[in-house]
Copies of this chain bind each other. A is one copy, B any other.
Amino acid sequence: MFNIDFEPIGRRGQCSADQSLLESARELNVDIVSICGGVGTCGHCKVQIIAGKVSKLTFEEQGELSAREQEQGYRLACQTFPLSDVKVHVPPESLTAPQRTQVEGLEVDVVPEPPVRALEIQLTAPTLASPVPDDVNLLTALGIPDGSIDFHLQQNLSRQLRDLNWNLSVALRGDEIVALAAPGAKWVGLAVDIGTTKIAAYLVEMETGKTLASRGQMNPQISYGEDLVTRIVAASKNEEGAAKLQSLLTEALNQLAADLCAETGLSTDHIVEAVVVGNTAIHHLFLKLPVKQLGLAPYVPATRAAVDIKAREIGLKLAPGAYLHLLPNVAGYVGADHVAMLLATRTADATQTTLAIDIGTNTELCLNHNGHLTSASCASGPAFEGAHIKFGMRAAPGAIEHVLLENDRLEIQTIAGETPIGICGSGLLDIVAQLRLNNIIDKSGRMGAHPRVRKETVTEFILVERPGQDPITISQKDVRELQLAKAAIRAGIQALVMAVGLTETDIEQVIIAGAFGTFIDVGSAVTIGMLPPLPLDRFSQVGNAAGTGARLALISTTQRAKAAEIARRDGYIELASVPNFQRKFAEATNL
C-alpha cells in the first residue's frame, strides 16, 4: 500500500499498486471527470504527478497527451499506477465540482478617488506649417505640457493617434498617460488577494468603484509546496525555483484578468491599474524578492514599503503603462493582506478596543487599543486546511462543514449537500466542540467512552458509517492536532493583550476575517477555547476582508494613503520574545 495525496483539494489516503490513480481517487471520493469509463480514450482524467514514481506512459496516453503535457508530468489517471507514495495535482478542468473559494467580502462605501482618471480629447493633426510633435500635441491638449507618457505607450503612440484619427480616450495617472483607446473606453482596475492556498480577483470600474466581476481559484504554487516554508526553501535554493514560483502567479493573474475581461466584454488593455495583497512570503514570491531571510530568524522582510511598479516589470499583461501596486507589509509574518484587512474592517479607526483576526495556516492578529495598533502572528499550522487530520480535506463539495450532536443524534452538514467524503476546518471545530459539550472528550482532550467511539488500533469517533468502506471518523490524534492549532491562536491573543497591558475581557469587539473565519461557528470556537469567552455579540465575521481592502486601495488614493499609514502605525511584536509564551501555549491546549 502507498500513500496518495490529491492536491489542491488536500484529500489524502492509501492506494495499492494495482489500483489506477482514477480508482484511488474514486475510493477517496475525489471526483475526477471520466467519460470513456477508464479506457484511456476520452482524455478527461488528466492529472499531474508532482512527486513519487508511477507506471510508464501507455500507448493511449501518448495519443491523448501533448509533448508539452508529457514533459510536465501530466498523465491520464485511468492509465497510471503508483510505484511509490505519490502526490497528484488535479487541475480544475479534471474535477467534476469546483472547489469553494471565497471572493465575497465586505462591501464598504467609499467615494472613488481613482489613481487613474479618464479624459476624452480631440487633437488637431499636425501640418507642415505647424509640425507639432505627437507628444507635445497630446500633452498640450490635455493641459499638462510637463506631463509624461508611459514609455511602452509612447512606442505605439504615433500609430495609435493616427489610427484613432486624433480622437481618443486617455487614462491619466497623476500626470502620466498610461493608456489610450477609442473614445468611450471604460477603464478598469484589477484587485487581487493572493492567499497561500486561494486567489480572489476582482475587476473594478475605476470611475465608479463598482465591482464588475470576481473570480476565485486555487493558488497554483500549492502543487510546489502546501506550506509557505516549503515554497521559501524552493525559491531560495536556486534561480529557477524562484522564477517558477513567480511565473506561476503571473500566469494565474494573467488568466484571471483575461477571464474577468471576457466575462464583462472588456479587453485586458483596458486594465489600467492593479492592486495585489498577500502575506509577506507570497508578496515576496510574487515580486521575486529574496525570501531566504524570511525563513530564518529574525524573519525580516526584504521590503516593508508599498511597492508601485509597472505591471509589465513582473510580466503582467495589462494596459501598456499600467501600474501594479502592492500594499505595504508590517513584518515577516504580517503582510500586505493583513494591512488590507485592517483597512477594510476599519480596525484602525475603531474607538472600542478591537481585535481583528485572520485565521489560517498562519494566523494574524491586530489589536487596536486607544488608537495604538499592535500586531502579532501565530503559527497555527495547516490542520484547518485538512493536513495531518485522518479524514481532513479543504472546503470542497462533500466536506463535512457543520456538526451537531445531541445525546446520540448526530446531524451532519456537508458542502453542497453531497455525500460526506471528509472533514474541512469548520467541521473539525464543530466536531471537537460537540464532543466536548457532550463530555465525550475531557478538558485535556482525551476521548472517553460512547457508542460511536471505537478503540481499535486507534481511538476514534465514528461520524459516518459507509457500507463497504471505512467509516469517516475523527481520531484521538486528530483532536490533539486541533488542540495544538487552537492553542497557538489563543496563546497569541493572550500574549498580545498582555503586551499592551490588558486582559482578554477588555476586548470590546472581535472582527474575524478570512475565508476560513467566515465559515466557522464562533460558538464552537469559543467552546474549544480557540477564541476568548466573550459574549457572542462582540464577534463579527466579515469574509474576505483582504480582497475588499485591495479593492478600496485600487479605487481610492485616500484609502491607499491610509493603508500606508496603518502599516507605519502598526507595532509588531514577536510572540517568541514574549515572556512565558510557551507556558501560555501549553495551558491553551486545554479544551
Contacts and interface: CB of A to CB of B under 8 A. Distances in A.
Contacts of A305: 135-136, 139, 148
Nearest to A309: B151
Interface string A132-158: 111111010000000011010011111
Interface in A274-315: 287-290, 292-293, 297-305, 307, 309, 313
A104 to B, nearest CB: 32
A158 B235 CA distance: 14
A159 B303 contact: no
A458 interface: no
Contacts of A577: 128-129
A287 B155 contact: yes
B151 A297 contact: no
A332 interface: yes
B297 A158 contact: no
Contacts of A132: 300
B154 A303 contact: yes
Nearest to A236: B159
Interface string A518-547: 000000000000000000000000000000
A313 B151 contact: yes
Interface in A105-146: 126-137, 139
Quick one: copies of this chain in the complex?
Answer: 2
Given A148-B305, A155-B289, A158-B293, A298 B133 contact: no
A576 B128 contact: yes
Contacts of A130: 298
A290 to B, nearest CB: 4
Contacts of A512: none
B288 A134 contact: no
Contact of A304 (B127, B128, B136, B155): B136
Contacts of A298: 126-131
A329 interface: yes
A131 B290 contact: no
A574 interface: yes
Contacts of A300: 126, 131-134, 137, 158
B303 A156 contact: no
Interface in A328-342: 329, 331-332
Query: Which 9 residue pairs spanning A and B have beta carbons closest together?
Result: A133-B304, A158-B290, A131-B298, A135-B303, A128-B298, A158-B302, A133-B301, A126-B300, A151-B309
25 contacts: A128-B297, A128-B574, A129-B574, A129-B577, A131-B332, A131-B574, A132-B300, A133-B301, A133-B302, A133-B303, A134-B293, A135-B303, A135-B305, A148-B305, A151-B313, A154-B302, A154-B307, A155-B289, A157-B289, A157-B290, A157-B302, A158-B289, A158-B302, A159-B292, A162-B293
Interface of A: 126-137, 139, 148-149, 151, 154-159, 162, 287-290, 292-293, 297-305, 307, 309, 313, 329, 331-332, 572, 574, 576-577
